[in-house]
Structure 1
């Protein structure tokens, strides 16, 4: 009889781990509030369940005697997963540890109490008038609970701040938001696993983001330019693990690097999204993080044998208002550039190109593999020009 793993979420970003479950010889039980979620077609068992319906979730987990609980690229179900895993005695972080890092206000206090490098900030609720307060600009506004860069806005003065707060509140689930100092420097993420309280950093990832006021990720490249800081980053993150109690999970911290100084921005106790986990880490290290997370979730020891390569994802940004004139000749581009492992565009002929304000309204991507990161950046620029000419040329 097949053993089952419970997957929280059947969206596009969870499809890869659903496939890996099947390849690992398990059955997948996928739950999602959307009865037509994309993962429905991939799942062995698919059951529509509300995101806050604890009783229904526990009933499903018990019915199929699940051997582990997993998700990918989303924070939303994690606290529910903590409760289910505790009830069933499955490997997963505690509710308290996840709540500490997922609530951005609590996490900021945690970092402050433990004397760890962080952006200074303050939490506000609702449409409070913040303009009389004294801020050192620029600042960032962000929802206390959210992900995907939604509602994260940079403001340079009080006029921009007032508008930023209004827009951030549109993306706040509970009406709470942070105003925090803007940290200069380069953004990176860390792709890691935690088992038996020990941190295993698999890769560092450089980010490419939109210009202000929004802070949307337009690309990721591995390995990072800051690999020399990996030992220092490992020490910092192990302190966070030890102090918070996080264990038996993936870890996706986001950091700022400025002249060698590391600042912690936030941490997700989960796999990274944006194809970082599903594509880039396996391409650049030879390690499939999803497979290793399945081992953690089912109580087996991880195995980390790696290779060294480079990989990147670039999300298209052709500028706002242009109309697609021609269909993308995907077959020819893939033939001309074998280093492309994935190419996707959501826009059709006659459709307009929208402004990118968060991760949900991006409209296509390109994934590349190569020996060196600098070569990938050059190739990405070359391929993007060709695609631009194909779509918008006469």
Structure 2
């Protein structure tokens, strides 16, 4: 008992499939892990030393837990509202490892971030923010379609819709306001182009290591299903993306750690649409680790616990090209299993099956039955494979 009580305590703000690698890294460092979140059925809670039910978007509730448990560190999860909560708690308790609460809100709320992009001359689809539904509905009467309508404070495509006319615009505005916790939305022009993500680990304001990925969203256009890396445009856009990243760190004096930019490439220009300083969904950091040689989950833990990140170990990459694919259905029903051909499995490093036979698929546009994490040695081969997974991986759903 005394040995356990001498362990440093870390509060992790969720415990889903995405956060399990963080729990594993914390346990390997001998931390006492406390998990939170509203859902008691999250698999990571069983791995933690303690679970305390609370909404991670409720910063005062999380602060109360942190104070009562006398935590030594706090780590976010794969949601923007959790990152701002972690920043708030860290600031209140002097824990370090996070940007100030003000900066976290500036970066992770879409209207604030887009205003910052304009100020810093970072290419982006110019957004118009709205705090009142009536004004947004008036705006769409004369909007230049197509447009994108987004809540300012959601992730994983929640609440995002494209509208090609006023009728669709009305539906999109209603939907975005409904999904926004802050009841704020942005409307911006739709940019036609390739969607990519750039992820970097930054120390002392300089990019230490980075890569970028191509993004594919064939089932739900606003939920990335498959990503392969490095992206086709990485070598061309790398210096420009590093410049944008280091400009953000310099302007805001951000703390060491991870940053991800999502952008649309049009005419050779990366138009930034999203920014995150948090753990990423889909265990995205697995393939990032494969192609860079850095354990990005360990790096994330190191930075969010305010440890020294200068000498992170970088090994020889295990893959030239790597990626992840979320196994999704094209309709609702009863899940009965997954069949993956041998010619795909020979490239798979890890296969996580999240549904079991008999589970109900209630929302096929969002739910993932499982994930594969894979490697290839040729860019064209991985691109062809990624585009074929939905057809070649067979789901049994009735």
Distance 2:186 2:41 in 1: 34
Pairing partner for 2:327 from 316, 335, 343: 316
Give structure 2 stretches of 5+ with no counterpart: 1-5
Deviations 1:34-93 (A, max 9, x none): 344322101122222343555653454355553332123221222221222223332211
Distance 1:321 1:33 in 2: 25
Q: CA RMSD in A?
A: 2.9
CA displacement, residues 198-217 of structure 1 (integer Å, 9 cap, x when unaligned)? 333422111102378x4221
- Aligned to 1:77, the other structure's residue is in SS state helix
Once residues 342 and 222 of structure 2 are traced to their aligned partners in structure 1, the CA distance between those partners, rounded to angstroms, is 30
Q: Which runs of 5+ in 1 are unaligned?
A: none
> Do the aligned partners of residues 184 and 385 (structure 1) sit closer, same or farther apart at CA in structure 2, a change above 3 Å counting?
closer
Aligned runs of 1:46-65 on 2, under 5 Å?
46-51=51-56, 54=59, 57-62=62-67, 65=70
Give the counterpart of 1:280 among 270, 280, 287.
Answer: 287
Q: CA deviation at 1:293?
A: 1.7
Asked if the contact 2:38/2:55 (under 8 Å) is kept, the reply is yes
Q: Residue 144 of structure 2 aligns with which residue?
A: 136
* CA spacing shift, 1:4–1:287, aligned 2, 3 Å: same
Q: Secondary structure at the match of 1:76?
A: helix
C-alpha deviations, 1:137-195, integer Å up to 9, x for none? 21101001111101111111222212222222331212221110112211111222233
Secondary structure at 1:202 match in 2? strand
Residue 274 of structure 1 deviates from its aligned partner by 1.6
Secondary structure at the counterpart of residue 272 of structure 2? strand
Match in the other structure for 2:249? 241
Which string of whole-angstrom CA distances, capped at 9 and with x for unpartnered residues, describes residues 281-314 of structure 1? Answer: 1222221111012222242224152434221112
Aligned partner of 1:305 in structure 2 is 314
Q: Which residue of 2 aligns with 1:366?
A: 372
Give the structure 2 partner of residue 5 of structure 1: 10
Q: Tell whether the 8 Å contact from 1:343 to 1:366 is kept in structure 2 after alignment.
A: yes
SS, match of residue 210 in structure 2: strand
Q: Retained in 1: the 8 A contact 2:229–2:323?
A: yes
Matching of residue 344 in structure 1 with residue 350 in structure 2: no
Q: What is the TM-score of this pair, normalised by structure 1?
A: 0.86
Question: What CA distance in whole angstroms lies between the structure 1 residues aligned with 2:38 and 2:332?
Answer: 34
Asked whether 1:185 is paired with 2:196, we answer no
Match 2:119 to one of 113, 119, 134: 113
- Tell me which residue corresponds to 1:197: 205
Instruction: Give, in whole Å, the separation in 2 of the partners of 1:54 and 1:317.
Output: 33
